[in-house]
Chain A
Amino acid sequence: MLKTLEGPPGAAPTTVADASKAVPHPAPARRLTLSWLYLSPLVIVLAMWIYGPMIASAVLSLMDWDLSAGFSGWVGGENYADLMVHPDFVRSAAQTLFYAVALVPFATIVPMVLAVMMWQRLSRASHVYRVLLFLPVMVAPVANAVSWKFMLNPLQGLANEVLDLFGAAPVNWLGDPAIAPVMIVLVTAARVVAFNILIYSAALAVIDRRTLDAARIEGATSTDITRYIVMPQLTKTTVLLGLLVIVMAGQWVFNNVAILTQGGPDGSTDNVYYHIYTLGFSFFETGMASAASMIVLAVFMAAFGVYALLQRKGKRADAL
C-alpha cells in the first residue's frame, strides 16, 4: 500500500507532507458539505451555549428584565451606569483583585519549591508525595468546603479548640469580614498548589538528568545547578502560572465563596463572578446581571488578550 507513495528509485524524494498534497481529496463541493456535516455538532453547541448566550447577554444588558416577571422595557445604558457607581459592584471588583494577588504565591513559589524538592530525589517516597499532593484536586469542592466549615465552626470547631488550648480567644473564621476573605483564599489555595505542582513537575521533567550529572562532574554545586539550570527552566512556567492565577483567581474561589460564605459577611468575600450570580439568581435582576457580565467579559477578554500576546512573545523569544 505504501509502495505507491514511495515512488520508483531515482525519482524525486517524496516526503509525507508532499504526499498529502499529491493525493486528491474528495471533490471540493462534496468536501465542503462533508466537513460541515462533521463540524455541525460543534457549531450547534457553540452557538447555543457560548456565542448565542454572549450576544443574548449584550441584548439583555440593555433591558429591564426581572427573572420571574420577564421583560419590562428597554433602558439603554442605564444598567451599566448604575453598576459603575454601585458600591457593592465596585467592592466586588476590588475583592476580585484581592483574590488575584493573594493567590499568586500559592500558584507560583509554593508549588515551585515543592516540585523542585520532589524532583531532586527520585524515590518511592517522592512518588507517594506526588500522589498525595495532587489529591486536593480530586476531592469534590463541596466536600472540601464542608470539611473546612466543620473545622472552622465558631463554637466548637477544631481551629478554635486549638486556640483555646493556647489560651487564645475564639475567632469567628467565616463570620468576621477581616478574616473570612483570607479563609476563602486558604481553602482555595490547596487546590491551586496541588494543580500547579503538577505543572512545575512537567516543566522539570524536561531537564535532562545527564546534563546535571555532567555539570556535577565539572564541579557544579547544587546551588549552581539550581541557579543556572533549574531556575531558567522554571521562569517561563512561573510567569505563565502567575498571569493565569491573576486572571482566573476570581473564578477559582467561586465555589468556596458560594458554599462557605455566600459573599458575606457584609460582602467581604464577594467578587465579580459571585456578584453576577447574586444579581441574577438572588435578586432576579436579569438586565443588571447581564450588564455586569458584559463588563467582566470585556475586562477579562482584554486581560486575556495581553496574556496571549505575552505568551506568544515568550514562545518566539525562546524558539530554538
Chain B
Amino acid sequence: MKSFSKILHFFILIICLILQVAFFDYLDIFLIRFDLVMVAVIAVALFDGTMWGMIFGFVAGMAIDLMAGNIVGISAFIYSADAFMVRKLITAGFKSRLLTYIFIVFIITEINILTVSLIYYLFNFSISRFGMGLDMIIGPLCNIILVFVIFPIIRIGKGMNRETEFEFKYKNEI
C-alpha cells in the first residue's frame, strides 16, 4: 500500500510537471505565476516524509531543468531543499492544519524566490529588484491557491486520516 501510494504520488508529480511546462507557464498574465511542482513537492514531503519529498523534488526539478532550463540542477536543488525545509517549518504548530499548509507554502515560495535570485545573481545575471519584489507578493498568493487543489489530491492518493498525516512533531499536536 505504501509503495503504491508513492508510485501514485510520483505520477501526480509528473502530471504537475507536464501541466507546468505545457500550460501554467503560458498563463503569464499580470505577473501571475503558479508553481505547481513546488506545491506538489511540499505536499509529498508532508504526506510521504522528507526523504521522499527530497527525492521527488530532485527528479521533478531535474526534469524541469532538462526540459526548459538555463542552468541544469538549480530547480532540482531548490525543490529538494523545499522538501527538507518542510520538516523545520512544520514545527510552527498552528492550531489549524490549513494555516500550517498556507504558512509553509508562503515561506517556501519566498525563500525560493530569494534563493533563485541569489543564485542567478552569483552567476552574473542582472537583477530587477522591482520584478523580484512583485514576485514576492504575487508568487505566494498564487501558490497558496494551488494548496486547495494539490493537497487534497495527494492526500486522497495517500488514503490517510489527519492523525497519521505528519510523521514529525506536529503529529502529536493535532
Are A and B a genuine interacting pair, yes or no? no
Chain A positions within 8 Å of B, measured between CB atoms, are: none
Measuring CB to CB, which residues of chain B are less than 8 angstroms from any residue of chain A? none
